């Protein structure tokens, strides 16, 4: 897929956004080089496009520029976004992909639990961006799981018939 068509791709909207109206966008880069580049702008645009196509009103944008993702407790913008979710300023936290939140499973789980405890939803826009590598990976994994389930079902049926002669 060429880059221009990738940017124009639409999103598949997740069911857990039903009834949600407001969103916060969170972006992060960790290096000075990324701050000077277009990474933050790209993240913001992707998240904004997702919000627009989802019918969500963006009520806040939080950015941690040049902040390492090793510890989510040391990121002031992320903490502010989570606090705003906890007091009901917004119902959805939109992040481009999970790496912007954390590559540490424990931290990601803690953040997700805070979002869920606030009655909000955490969405990674790339997971729903048709044609993105993340979307394609999820589709392939879902297809593989369906093939696996079908094989298990067929094996079970064959076992039933093999016992009946």
pLDDT tens digits in sequence order for the chain, 165 residues long: 344 444 444 655 666 778 899 999 999 988 777 777 788 899 999 999 989 988 999 999 999 988 777 777 788 999 999 999 999 999 999 998 888 888 788 888 899 999 999 999 888 887 765 555 666 676 677 677 778 777 777 776 655 555 554
Distances (CA, A) of 54 to 48, 92, 121, 156: 10, 11, 13, 42
Tell me: do 73 and 20 sit in the same domain: yes
Q: Within this chain, do residues 87 and 26 fall inside the same structural domain, yes or no?
A: yes
pLDDT at 100: 87
Do 71 and 99 belong to one domain? yes
Residue 139 and residue 121 in one domain: no
- In this structure, the answer to whether residues 42 and 13 fall within a common structural domain is yes
Same domain, 113 and 56: yes
Let me know whether 11 and 46 are in one domain: yes
Q: Do 139 and 165 fall into the same domain?
A: yes
Same domain, 35 and 57: yes
Task: Tell how strand 57-65 and strand 121-124 pair up.
Answer: unpaired
Domain span at residue 32 reads 3-129
Please indicate, yes or no, whether residues 12 and 63 belong to a single structural domain of this protein: yes
- The pLDDT assigned to 7 comes to 44
Q: pTM for this structure?
A: 0.73
Nearest to 25 by CA among 10, 41, 36: 41
Rounded to the nearest 10 degrees, the angle between the axes of helix 105-117 and helix 76-86 is 30
* pLDDT for the residue numbered 11: 55
Residue for token digits 């039933």? 160
């Amino acid at each position: 897929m060429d880059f221009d068509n990738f940017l124009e791709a639409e999103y598949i909207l997740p069911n857990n956004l039903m009834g949600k109206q407001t969103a916060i966008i969170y972006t992060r880069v960790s290096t000075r080089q990324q701050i000077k580049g277009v990474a933050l702008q790209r993240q913001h645009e992707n998240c904004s496009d997702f919000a627009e196509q989802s019918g969500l009103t963006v009520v806040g944008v939080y950015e941690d520029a040049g902040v390492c993702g090793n510890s989510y407790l040391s990121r002031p913008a992320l903490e502010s976004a989570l606090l705003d979710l906890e007091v009901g300023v917004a119902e959805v936290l939109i992040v481009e992909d999970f790496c912007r939140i954390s590559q540490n499973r424990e931290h990601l789980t803690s953040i997700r639990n805070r979002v869920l405890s606030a009655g909000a939803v955490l969405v990674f826009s790339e997971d729903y961006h048709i044609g993105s590598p993340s979307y394609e990976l999820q589709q392939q994994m879902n297809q593989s799981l369906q093939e696996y389930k079908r094989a298990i079902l067929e094996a079970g049926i064959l076992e039933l018939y093999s016992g009946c002669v």
